Chain A
Amino acid sequence: MELLSNLGDGFFIALTWQNLGLALLGCFLGTIMGALPGLGPSNGVAILIPLAFTLGLGATPSLILLTSVYYGAMYGGRISSILLGIPGDEPAMMTVLDGYPMAKKGLAGEALSLSGIASFIGAFLATWGLILLAPQLVKIALLFGPAEYFALFALAFMTLGGVSSTNQAKSAFAAALGLGLATIGVDTQTGVPRFTFGEVHLYDGLDFLVAIVGLFALSEVFIFLETRHGGSDAAGRNMQIGKLYPPMSMLKQCTPTMLRTSVLGFIAGVLPGAGASLGSFISYSMEKRLVDKEGTFGTGDPRGVAAPEAGNNAAAGGALVPMLALGVPGSGTTAVLLAVLLSLNITPGPLLFTQNPDVVWGLIAALFIANFMLLALNIPMVGLFTRVLMVPSRILMPIVAMVSFVGIYGISGSTFDLLVMIGFGVLGWVLRKFDVPLVPIILGTLLGNAMENNLRRAVTIDNGNWFTLFDSPLALTLWVIAIIGFVLPLIVGARVKSGMHARRDEEGAISD
């Protein structure tokens, strides 16, 4: 009952003209970003953060705008997967397998509308999952002391390595690099400057927004310059959509698939370190094993379109659970959303639910509304977005670069930050060449200070006894999960990961 009244309050907050307008804008922009190869959910949200600030939005409206972009990108990715056979963003890579063959058979409209419905069901059920699960997780999180939080952060970094990269050493390297960057600046506890080398600009530390926009958005521009991929993938292709409504028999055939993969995707999303890409991957794999008796998967089976789409949208909702309830994001895009919250001086985690219930429930209500908007945008109006695919990247990429600069300059107004951003862009390009995942770096810069503070608080409380970190059953449990999460992929993960990475979106290869 309390839940429903909270939700009612949430709708009361979300149903203002401003918030509805922002949700619509976010859904629209998100779908475009998802559809365009080269722009995905994480860099799409990243370049819009400054926009949210410059509009002078509060916490709830900013989050509504940006999570709508996030949900929208999950819908949009399927458009180019189906029509062009090129995933629009990484989570949509599995949709190519059956969506593109369906389009070649002349069933593009059916595939688009079916995947739109699957996306809706996945996102809708996941939002309910978020409502039910997040408060339970908050109850556990309220028992956490500093030692448990330190273990939780360690868990996040260690499990992230399991899925975000094919090489554990490289994700450990990325996490350490991010944490190291976070230590730059004046130490919050004793006030001594660290790693500033006398540069006054560094006393406040590096702004993580600068790092995010540089790593995610600017490095993309360099990738395009490197491959000189200036054309539009859609150029000269026949993009006939045809009928926009799937036959009832097809829907009926796919309903069990959609329900199953929504649940599976949601669970995959909640798990630390796993994002929407993993959600769509395991959804497709499970359905293939479960229902593909005649071997039609991969040749244009509608269930092969519904499964990954329901899976990735459900995972997107699931990934919001740890971000909101624990303050520990599990995927690239939720890390970017965490950056937004931190910049607005709101600390996610259990206290968010008690101190800022308006933010949480307003956001959840907005997610429901956005989901209906996305259904409307993505089925009857999908033709609008297919036109966007015609924009060649030689025009798109300069705009992305310039908007990144404007955004960062708009926040700080300093040339120094722009130079740091260019530095991060180059760093991002080099690291992507080496297949070093970028998400742990972002997570490190975001969580570094909180992680260190919790460590120091825990040890100080216990008079300098470092074993206090492993002292409580709760902390021990977290450490055990962390170690399993780190070791297990070394043993069994190689197969799953090579399957996932074989189909990587080459241009937008930022794990989510």
Chain B
Amino acid sequence: MSDRIFGVVGMLLAIGYALAAFAIEESFLSDAVGPKAFPLIIATILGLSSAVIVLRPDAEPTWPALGRLVEIVAAVVVLILYAEMLPVAGFIIATAFAAAYLAWRLGSSALEAVAVGIGTSIGIYVIFHLVLGLSLARGPFGF
């Protein structure tokens, strides 16, 4: 069943992609092929392969239990927050929090998680910023 849903989503994607390709405004100066042809070929392949997936689905993949799924969604939210907070809070603070969160959710004890978070953050700061000179996000405190 999962594969069939996946295939239907793929077909919708192909249709959407094809519609967007038709909507491309061609400039008056164009080559013989134009900017639409190649995307339309791809949309066809995308649609056909999705159709085959719908018609001949594989065995059901093993989906995680709801709790694990929530876990992944939570991690995605934390990572998005991390990306947004990076320029605001600065590299060291944001990274320490994000790394600690991931370590905690992967089964570290609270103390170990904090240690991993701070260690990762400072370790990366020292190696990448102080030694290699990579510019990392600056927060209000300059790091």
Contacts and interface: CB of A to CB of B under 8 A. Distances in A.
Interface of A is mostly: helix
A226 B53 contact: no
A477 interface: no
B36 to A, nearest CB: 9
Interface in A402-417: 402-403, 405-406, 409-410, 413, 415
B140 to A, nearest CB: 17
B108 A394 contact: yes
A222 B75 contact: yes
A170 B53 CA distance: 7
B67 to A, nearest CB: 10
A456 interface: yes
Interface centre among B68, B83, B132 (most CB of A within 10 A): B83
A92 to B, nearest CB: 24
Contacts of A464: 32-33
A175 B33 contact: no
Interface in A381-438: 393-395, 397-399, 401-403, 405-406, 409-410, 413, 415, 418-419, 422, 425-426, 429, 433-435
A456 B72 contact: no
Contacts of B100: 398
Interface string B1-42: 011001000100010010011001111011111110111001
A194 B3 CA distance: 30
Interface string A215-248: 0000001101111111100000000000000000
Contact of B58 (A167, A456, A460): A167
A226 B68 CA distance: 5
B99 interface: yes
B143 interface: no
B86 A418 contact: yes
Contacts, number: 202
Contacts of B14: 176
B72 A395 contact: no
B80 to A, nearest CB: 6
Contacts of B136: 406, 409-410
B33 A415 contact: no
A30 B2 CA distance: 37
B27 A190 contact: yes
A402 B99 contact: yes
A394 B71 contact: no
A9 interface: no
B137 interface: yes
Contacts of A189: 30-31, 35
Interface in B64-96: 64, 68-69, 71-72, 75-76, 79-80, 82-84, 86-87, 91, 95
B32 A194 contact: no
Nearest to B33: A456
B121 A402 contact: yes
Given A180-B17, A189-B31, A192-B35, A230 B107 contact: yes
Contacts of A35: none
Contacts of A373: none
Given A399-B123, A405-B79, A410-B135, 15 more contacts: A54-B128, A54-B132, A187-B35, A225-B71, A226-B71, A228-B105, A393-B106, A394-B107, A397-B106, A399-B120, A405-B86, A406-B124, A434-B3, A452-B38, A464-B32
26 contacts: A51-B128, A166-B58, A169-B49, A170-B53, A172-B49, A177-B46, A180-B17, A180-B39, A180-B43, A187-B24, A187-B35, A189-B35, A190-B31, A195-B39, A225-B72, A229-B106, A394-B107, A394-B108, A395-B112, A397-B103, A401-B102, A406-B91, A406-B95, A455-B38, A459-B32, A464-B32
Interface of A: 51, 54-55, 166-167, 169-170, 172-173, 175-177, 179-180, 183, 187, 189-192, 194-195, 221-222, 224-231, 393-395, 397-399, 401-403, 405-406, 409-410, 413, 415, 418-419, 422, 425-426, 429, 433-435, 451-452, 455-456, 459-460, 463-464
